[in-house]
Amino acid sequence: MSPTVIKAVPMTAESFAPFGFVLETSENSMAAMNEARFERFHDLAKIDVDSGNDGRVAIGIAVAKVPVNMPHEFDLIERHPLGSQAFIPLSPFSFTVVVAPAGESVATADLRAFTTNGHQGINYHRGVWHMPLIATETGQKFLIVDRAPGIDNVQERVLEHTVTLSL
């Protein structure tokens, strides 16, 4: 079988909608806050966390230790059946995600890749398949909003063959 190459396209709220929400200031309704000292962009994503077994929303931070170069080869994909998961850069930088629709199975042909514009975060819908988070520079930080505890909330699949992600 010939190798699969997936080329990332620019992320937009519309194109990413089947997989999650885009957290950004440009696409949503705006309201004034604090006597108009701020513009507030409200309620940008659906946080969807199963409350069973003491499930709750948690905030964490991930710091990149081993960046990857593009093109990037991978064959593992994962999903979180018990909750949505948000990644928001804590400084302006672009990152790339690979996703496939929620469902019991996932095939290489279902994969799509998106690159953010440097001022976007994302919130995966519950159950959406995604490549594990990657970063392109050491020290890049992401805020994470997902479910705690993490137990029973990760399912992994190995794809039929290795996929190459390119920008």
132 lies in the binding site for its own copies (CB under 8 A): yes
90 lies in the binding site for its own copies (CB under 8 A): yes
The H or E element containing residue 14 is: helix 13-16
Q: Choose between 38 and 103: whose C-beta lies nearer to its own copies.
A: 38
In this structure, are residues 138 and 64 in contact, taking their beta carbons and an 8 Å threshold? yes
Q: Applying CB under 8 A, which part among 4-12, 104-112, 127-135, 159-167 lies near its own copies?
A: 127-135
d(CA 103, CA 35): 46
97 lies in the binding site for its own copies (CB under 8 A): no
Residue whose entry in the numeric block shows the structure tokens 């790339």: 96
What separation, in Å, do the N-terminal and C-terminal C-alpha atoms of the chain show? 22
34 lies in the binding site for its own copies (CB under 8 A): yes
Residue whose entry in the numeric block shows the structure tokens 């077994």: 53
- List the beta bridge partners of residue 144: 60, 87
Q: Applying CB under 8 A, which part among 9-17, 42-50, 94-102, 159-167 lies near its own copies?
A: 42-50
109 lies in the binding site for its own copies (CB under 8 A): no
Which tokens hold the place of 77?
Answer: 């994909």
- Chain residues binding its own copies by CB under 8 A are 23-25, 33-45, 47, 49, 56-68, 86, 88-92, 121, 123, 132-135, 141, 143-145, 148
